[in-house]
Amino acid sequence: MLRSLSSGVSGIQQFQEQMDVISNNIANVNTTGFKSSRVEFADSFSATLRGSSSADGSASGTPAIQVGSGVTTSGIKNIFTQGALARTGYQTDLAVDGDGFFVVRDPVTATQYVTRAGDFRLDASGYLTNDTGLHVQGYSDGTSSSVGDVKIDDTGRPATSDPAATFVSFSISPEGVIKVRLSDATEYTRGQILLQRFSDPQALQKEGLNLYSGMGAAGPLAAPSAPQSNGLGRIESGALEVSNVDLANEFAAMITTQRAFQANARIITTSDEMLQELVALKR
């Protein structure tokens, strides 16, 4: 069987995989906090017809003779570049401007994930959650002594405040500090949102719903920390990070991928014609 036939098949398979990645990128062009991906190729194992030899006093060295067997996918990498920030005006919409991920926890299983999507909301109990009910993590008290589910309510009010005062509003600073304001104009710190960063974010695994798992393999650089510390970015309240997909690059990659697919398909048809000629030698 011609080696070119299997090489062409491998090319078709890998470029189909690349098209799958490109289509997923384009499909998520409006997904909050989405990070695009790219495919990286490597040549497959090469058949060695003759090994190389070194030169000696009587003869010069000879190079190896090898024939490649096609292409394979060496990796699919996520591109963690910063997406643009879009103002929304909703206080619970948060965006990370710089490095870092929000940490969220499943209140049922206690499983933690990280995410760049900050489209959060306050549930009926006052917890800051994402759309699937996962709780945002940070300092859950005003003294920054307890890490857990971030809750925004009038708990921890100063003793000097009016006992009849009610919760009026809140604000979130670029450092993630949550300030609560009561009806008697008393303002105090309720908690703080923390961020996490990794030495190898490529090791994070996409779980869908804008969530990533595999934090241990990604190498957390430290415990979750306050924004604008330990190399972390700042938090923008009332804004969301949009997808970092570049449509111009994706469509250009789609064209080159399609042409590469066609070229490899031509290799298969040409190899088939050569085999037909070989079979036709015996009449």
- Residue identified by tokens 């963690």 is 80
Distances in whole angstroms, Cα of residue 218 to Cα of each of 19, 174, 175, 221, 250: 27, 26, 24, 9, 27
* C-alpha to C-alpha distance for 74 and 56, rounded to whole angstroms: 38
The pLDDT of residue 76 is 95
Which amino acid, one-letter code, is at 267? I
* Spatial contact of 186 and 157, defined as CB atoms under 8 Å apart: yes
* Spatial contact of 145 and 162, defined as CB atoms under 8 Å apart: no
Does position 201 have pLDDT exceeding 90, yes or no?
Answer: yes
Does position 1 have pLDDT exceeding 60, yes or no?
Answer: no
Does position 57 have pLDDT exceeding 80, yes or no?
Answer: no
Does position 51 have pLDDT exceeding 90, yes or no?
Answer: no
What are 253-280's pLDDT values in tens digits? 999 999 999 999 999 999 888 888 888 8
What are 216-255's pLDDT values in tens digits? 999 999 899 999 999 999 999 999 999 999 999 999 999 9
- From the list 197, 214, 80, 196, the residue with the least C-alpha distance to 137 is 196
- Measured torsion, CA atoms of residues 191, 188, 94, 169, in degrees rounded to the nearest 10: 130
Give the residue-averaged pLDDT of 148-170: 93
For the chain, the average pLDDT equals 93
Three-state secondary structure call for residue 64? coil
- Measured torsion, CA atoms of residues 228, 138, 217, 203, in degrees rounded to the nearest 10: -60
- Residue identified by tokens 């925004």 is 152
pLDDT tier at 50, thresholds 50, 70, 90: confident
Tokens representing residue 267 in the block: 């290799």
Provide the residue ranges of all domains of the chain, joining segments of one domain with +: 3-48+64-80+245-279, 85-241
Cα 29–chain centre separation:
14
- From the list 124, 142, 146, 143, the residue with the least C-alpha distance to 133 is 124
The pLDDT of residue 282 is 74
